[in-house]
Each structure stands twice: as C-alpha cells, then as structure tokens.
C-alpha cells in the first residue's frame, strides 16, 4: 500500500512538472552583417515554439537600449504553436559594430531569470550631409541652427552674450525672427541680416542673458523660439541651461568676517535597502556659525525628481540651526541609487553644498 501511495505521489509530481509552458527559440542570436547607416531601420525576427503542455505567455520583453525596439506575440501561445519577437535596430548616427540584447521573461514557473537574445552587426558610415559639411548637424529642415543649446555659468550680477549661427539652405530667401515676447532677461542685441536670410546665406543673432534680471539661483532652464517659414521645421527651439551663482566679490573684509557660515551635520543622505513604492527619510541639520543671518536661497533638486524636502526655516539666525527633512521616493526604481542635489545659501565660504544620495532599492 505504501509503495502504491509513493508511486501515485511521484506520478502526480511528474504530471505537475510536465503541465507547464516551455519556450524554445529557433535561434538566440541574429547577425545582420554590414548595414548602411542611411539605409533605415533593420529588423530581425526570432521565432519560438511552446514545447510545454500549457499556454506560454511573454510577460516582459525589454530591449537593452533606446536604439533597439521590440514587437512580439502578446497573446498566449498554445502548446505546439509558435510566436515571434521582432528586434529592430536604428543605425542612424551609430556607425561601427553593435551588439545589442533583449531580455525576455515568460510565465514559465521554473525559470527565474530572463532569456537573452542578441542582434549584432556593423554599420557602414554614411557620407556626410550638406548640413554636416557646413557644421549644421542638428535639427531639421533647410533653415538650420548650428547649436540649439546654451550652457553657461554666470553670477547674479553678470550677463552673457551668445551668438546664434543660422544658415538658409533653401534656394530662395527665408524669414527668420525671434519670438515676439521674450522674457526680460533674454534680449536680442544684434544680427548681421535683415528680416530674412538670402538663399545660401549664413547669419547670426547675438542674444544677451542677464543673470541679475533672471532673479534665480542654481541651474535654471529656459526655452525661446526662432520663428522661420521653413516648410519642414518652422520653429527652432533654443534651450538655455544657466547656472547662477551669487557674486561675493564686492564684499569688504569686514563684511566677509561678519558673513553667515553654513555648517551641515552630514552631507550624505544614505538609506539602507528599501522596496519599490516605499520611501526613505533622513534629517540634516544646518547651523549658522556666522554673525549675520544665513539665507537658504534654494534647495535645487531639479535633476532629482525622487527627492522631496521640507525646510524648517529658510532663514537661520546666528548661532541657530534649522532642519532639512528629506524623503526619497523609490517608486518603480530599482538597484543602486547614486545622485546629488544642492543647497544654495548666502554663505561666501560655502555657497553651494552638494548633498549626495546613496541607497539600494529591491524589487
């Protein structure tokens, strides 16, 4: 009787083990060989078969980088049937060899790590375009701007001049103007052409960014539009990233001696392992050891959306302290976390304090 029970138990276990999906790829690597950069996107199809006894489902198909995309069978694949994963690679502006992967997760109960499929090849560099030969690599259309970004450091008493180079590749004249309502701290100073650029003409517009009028601290973002009658891209957006720091150069020695001084209880926000959707918290104490009030100009977390904060006071009197309460929101992030944010004050000896953020988020 015991032997019969044991045999039945083993049979049930065997049948349970057999009653599950199982993926089998025809291949896990596709070699494109040589492809041309200007030839457009290329796609490799990976065919798989469900060799199990239950429906197979692809639960996640994740390309390893933004230059690779994937389309795949989304409905359940019955036993004995086949499905596919299409891996698409965009070679534009990516000359040279490539080796990209796509991670594939399924509903197989005994498989805990994703399968990995690969696409490989070599991109033959295209000839340079007429725009690139002239130094105009970015943007679209026949009216081109040489650079679409302005990245500068200024103090709150300085201004910055930037020259915006523009070229008309059309065979006739094209109108070019700056948006009508510019912010007060950005002005057109001069240009070397009239209302329009002639056919083939290269011109420039000089723009002035005034740090005093901007009335802000740390890294600030702005965007202005260049208006044209380019039939492909009528508006060309110029993106400003300006770091404004306080100018202490005019302070006398007496003023410097009496200036506020910021002392931080710690400069690292370090949290132990937390799960996704959870939060980590910490408190940093800021003490003013100077002789005049310490003003917290800004707590700059613009590049760190996971951080929120609460400052007990934005002004700290001499020999007094305030607390900076920090919260890190894990949300869907995972793995090791390394980030920075800045505390900006009116302390001449330490106007910008970088706070490091370190921790680990588990799934």
Residue 183 has pLDDT above 60, yes or no: yes
End-to-end alpha-carbon separation of the chain, Å? 47
What strand order describes the sheet that includes 82-89?
Answer: 23-25, 42-50, 82-89, 68-72
Answer for the pair 286, 254: CB distance below 8 angstroms, yes or no: no
- Residue among 109, 99, 84, 85 nearest 16 (CA): 109
pLDDT score at 65: 82
pTM over 0.75: no
Count CB-CB contacts under 10 A for residue 130.
10
pLDDT score at 10: 52
pLDDT digits (tens, 9 = 90+) for 123-173: 999 999 999 999 998 899 999 999 999 999 999 999 999 999 999 999 999
pLDDT digits (tens, 9 = 90+) for 307-316: 999 999 999 9
Distance, in Å, from the CA atom of 227 to the CA atom of 242, rounded to the nearest integer, reads 23
CATH code for the part of the protein at 253-362: 2.60.40.10
Confidence of residue 3 (pLDDT cuts 50, 70, 90): low
Instruction: Tell me how long the chain is.
Output: 363
Distance, in Å, from the CA atom of 101 to the CA atom of 104, rounded to the nearest integer, reads 10
Mean per-residue pLDDT of the chain = 92
Answer for the pair 24, 48: CB distance below 8 angstroms, yes or no: yes
Count CB-CB contacts under 10 A for residue 294.
26
pLDDT digits (tens, 9 = 90+) for 251-306: 999 999 999 999 999 999 999 899 988 999 999 999 999 999 999 999 998 767 88
3-state secondary structure (DSSP) of residue 116: strand
Answer for the pair 317, 293: CB distance below 8 angstroms, yes or no: yes
- Residue among 284, 247, 262, 266 nearest 345 (CA): 262
Q: What tokens does 194 get?
A: 């009239």
Percent of the chain at pLDDT exceeding 90: 86
pLDDT score at 69: 79
Distance, in Å, from the CA atom of 297 to the CA atom of 184, rounded to the nearest integer, reads 21
Separation of CA 80 from chain center: 42
Query: What stretch(es) of the chain map to CATH 2.60.40.10?
Result: 21-124, 134-245, 253-362
Confidence of residue 12 (pLDDT cuts 50, 70, 90): very low
Distance, in Å, from the CA atom of 262 to the CA atom of 287, rounded to the nearest integer, reads 6
Distance, in Å, from the CA atom of 56 to the CA atom of 91, rounded to the nearest integer, reads 32
DSSP string, 8-73: HHHHHHHHHHHSS--EEES-SEEEEEEEEGGG--EEEEEEEEE-SSS-B-EEEEEESSTTEEEEE-
Residue 68 has pLDDT above 90, yes or no: no
pLDDT score at 332: 84
pLDDT score at 341: 93
Distance, in Å, from the CA atom of 224 to the CA atom of 238, rounded to the nearest integer, reads 5
Interval 39-67 mean pLDDT? 93
Residue 14 has pLDDT above 90, yes or no: no
3-state helix, strand, coil in the chain (%, to 5): 10, 50, 40
Fold of 134-245: Immunoglobulin-like (2.60.40)
DSSP string, 88-113: EE--TT--EEEEEEEEEEE--TT--S
Q: Which residues contact 163 (CB under 8 A, 6 or more apart)?
A: 204, 205, 206, 207
pLDDT digits (tens, 9 = 90+) for 316-342: 999 999 999 999 999 888 889 999 999
Distance, in Å, from the CA atom of 251 to the CA atom of 265, rounded to the nearest integer, reads 27
Q: Which CATH class is domain 21-124?
A: mainly beta
Q: What tokens does 222 get?
A: 């702005």
DSSP string, 304-336: -TTEEEEES-SEE-TT-EEEEEEEEE-TT--EE
pLDDT score at 303: 66
């Amino acid at each position: 009787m015991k032997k019969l029970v044991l045999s039945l138990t083993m049979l049930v276990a065997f049948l349970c083990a057999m009653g599950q999906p199982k993926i089998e790829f025809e291949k896990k690597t596709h070699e494109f060989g040589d492809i041309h950069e200007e030839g457009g996107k290329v796609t490799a199809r990976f065919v798989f078969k469900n060799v199990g006894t239950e429906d197979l489902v692809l639960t996640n198909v994740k390309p390893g980088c933004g230059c690779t995309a994937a389309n795949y069978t989304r409905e359940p694949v019955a036993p004995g049937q086949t499905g596919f994963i299409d891996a698409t690679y965009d070679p534009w502006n990516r000359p040279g060899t490539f080796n990209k992967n796509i991670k594939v997760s399924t509903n197989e109960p005994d498989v805990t790590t994703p399968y990995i499929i690969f696409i490989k090849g070599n991109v033959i560099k295209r000839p340079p375009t007429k725009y690139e030969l002239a130094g105009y690599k970015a943007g679209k259309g026949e009216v081109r701007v040489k650079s679409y970004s302005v990245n500068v450091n200024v103090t709150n008493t300085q201004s910055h001049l930037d020259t915006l180079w523009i070229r008309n590749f059309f065979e006739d004249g094209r109108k070019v103007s700056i948006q009508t309502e510019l912010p007060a701290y950005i002005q057109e100073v001069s240009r070397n052409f009239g209302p329009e650029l002639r056919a083939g003409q290269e011109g420039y517009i000089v723009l002035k960014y005034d740090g005093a009028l901007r009335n802000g601290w740390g890294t600030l973002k702005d965007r202005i539009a260049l208006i044209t009658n380019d039939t492909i891209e009528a508006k060309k957006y110029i993106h400003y990233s300006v770091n404004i720091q306080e100018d202490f150069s005019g302070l006398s020695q007496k003023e410097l001696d009496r200036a506020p001084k910021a002392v931080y209880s710690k400069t690292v926000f370090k949290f132990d392992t937390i799960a996704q959707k959870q939060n980590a918290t910490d408190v940093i104490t800021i003490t003013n050891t100077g002789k005049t009030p310490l003003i917290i100009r800004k707590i700059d977390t613009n590049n760190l959306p996971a951080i929120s904060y609460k400052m007990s006071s934005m002004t700290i009197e001499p020999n007094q302290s305030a607390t900076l309460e920090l919260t890190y929101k894990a949300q869907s992030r995972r793995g090791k976390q390394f980030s920075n944010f800045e505390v900006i004050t009116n302390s001449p000896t330490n106007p910008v304090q970088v706070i490091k953020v370190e921790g680990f988020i588990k799934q």
